[in-house]
Amino acid sequence: MDVSPPEPIPGARLLFSHDAAVAHLNHGAFGMVPVAVQRAQQRVREEMESNPHRFFAVGLEERVAHVRRHLAGFVGADPEGAALVENASTGTSIVLGSLDLVAEDEIVTTDHGYGAVDLAVAATCRRTGAVHRVARVPLEADDAAITAAVLEATTARTRLVIVDHITAATARLIPVQRIVEAVRERWGDQAAVLVDAAHVPGILDPDVSALGADYWVGNLHKWAFAPRGTALLAVAPARRNRIRPLVLSWSAEAGFPASLEWVASHDYTPWLAAPTGLFVLRTLGIETVRRHNVALAEYGQRAVAAAIGAELPPATGLPMTLIPLPPGVAGDPEAAVALRRRISDDLAAEVGLTAWRGRGYLRLSAQIYNRPEDYHRLAAGLPALIERRATSR
């Protein structure tokens, strides 16, 4: 089916300082900070360097609290039950470090989870003797099947369930509301749920308080135009007094959220500039940006899938799309990294590549600075690259 790309948002490409000679098709990895946000952060940095003692000692706590309230409002979280942290992985490690696990307690994740989270869970299990159980969820599973698979992996020993709202590896939307309700119905308070919403702010309209998860963590620096190092960890009221900071500093006894936010000479400039990112997003029109990005991601997916003869996966309504690579191509993590670097070097295109269940998948993102020709470039050069990789094994 011939589908036309969306009309570009006027002037959107000029809002960024990226290298225009490169097709940046992996926004979901590190985001892209608008120039206005870069300048806002630089102004704060200059303020800090002009008098570091005054910057840290006078009024900074109130400024950070103001930012927290602003960002919490954006995702529907209680500002008194949320803390600014560096990223979703940091928030996850804080949660894991705050649990009093003992031998044979269980942590449940899915096989769509983020690799760094799996590493943190493995380290926690080694330290405590807990057991990591993984729910295997087919790529094509519907909401009911996903919920059933997660629930089936839980037992009376389950103490934490970690689920992605939008999966990084497979660009899937997970029914986290249903999973939270199902786990709560079966296990009550004995099994907490952590929603890894790393990609959610800016893509979806979460209502964190209504979700009812014990823990929720989302990055603002991916799709909400904040500087990198800006994320929010929200904690349910009953669990806030159990949160332990990863680093003990002068606010260690102040309790949540101050004990997490005040860590010595932390760089607070990304957090203080983050509201400017939301201002840019709202000025453009949040729904306008979302519609554009989803439509362009689906257009790019079709173009690249057709070029390599790949079956088109079902549409997800997300600005990240997945394309299966031919069997034997990038089927393990090392091969996926090698192909991603070759695409970067030879095609001047930055993409996401993952090996999942022994199959290589290309993940493409779309943001308002992208154009159809970015995907055309990848589509034109990728078949030959794949052929060379396949014949060189």
For the structural domain made of 37-279, what CATH number should be given?
3.40.640.10
Note the pLDDT of residue 78.
Answer: 97
Domain 12-32+285-391, architecture per CATH = Alpha-Beta Complex (3.90)
pLDDT band at residue 3 using 50, 70 and 90 as cut-offs: confident
- In this prediction, what percent of the chain has a pLDDT beyond 70? 98
pLDDT tens-digit readout, 355-387: 999 999 999 999 999 999 999 999 999 999 998
Domain ranges, ordered by start, for the chain:
12-32+285-391, 37-279
Note the pLDDT of residue 251.
Answer: 87
pLDDT at position 390 over 80: no
Stretch 310-318: mean pLDDT: 92
Stretch 110-125: mean pLDDT: 97
**Antiparallel, parallel or unpaired: β 23-24 and 349-350:** parallel
Note the pLDDT of residue 179.
Answer: 98
Please name the residue that has the structure tokens 């992208």: 370
